Amino acid sequence: MVAITSALLACFKQPFQNGAINDSGSQTSSSCKFCHASVENGFNVVYEDELFLAFQDRRPAAQHHYLVIPRKHIESVKDLTQSDDVAVKRMNEVGHTVLDNLGVPDNMRKTGFHIPPFNSVYHLHLHVHGLPYVSRNRAAKYPVAPGANGNSKGLSWFVETRQAIQILERGKRVGLLPC
């Protein structure tokens, strides 16, 4: 019941102005562990610049599993708008750079976002996987739902980066339902 209520409330959340990621503000949340991600705080950081940070996932689902986050606190992929498509592309580039450095072939990669309420941390984070998955149970957390009837994705709690970019470029919002 709580998950359903949370999902419904998220539908009515006000979008960030001028793009959630591109806004030059340095908003952070004192209670968000990803807002304080650093080597000093126990994160295995493999990439950082002024806008993004990449680190190894603490519970890897794949042979290589990294998270790319914006330094600015953004709760989830549902907060992104059309003006964030370029920043999402940049997050994806960062993820692919990490996998390039590990020698992961293109056909063994998967990137994407969990959609609330099916995410574990409410700070936007891109999952970057160098396959194979460590188990079928772990792989099941990242289902790809192809789109149909003009939608980029089907009913799913996970959206591949490619799908998210297509949705944002069309001026739509990412959600659990086909979009």
Rounded Cα–Cα distance for residues 134 and 51 (Å): 30
Amino acid letter, 64:
H
C-beta separation of 131 from 109 below 8 A: yes
Which of 73, 114, 125, 127 does the annotation list as catalytic?
A: 127
Torsion of CA 126, 163, 88, 124, to 10 degrees: -40
> What is the CA 17 to chain-centroid distance, rounded?
19
DSSP letter for 73, please.
Answer: -
Task: Please confirm, yes or no, whether 114 is among the known catalytic residues.
Answer: no
State the catalytic residues.
127
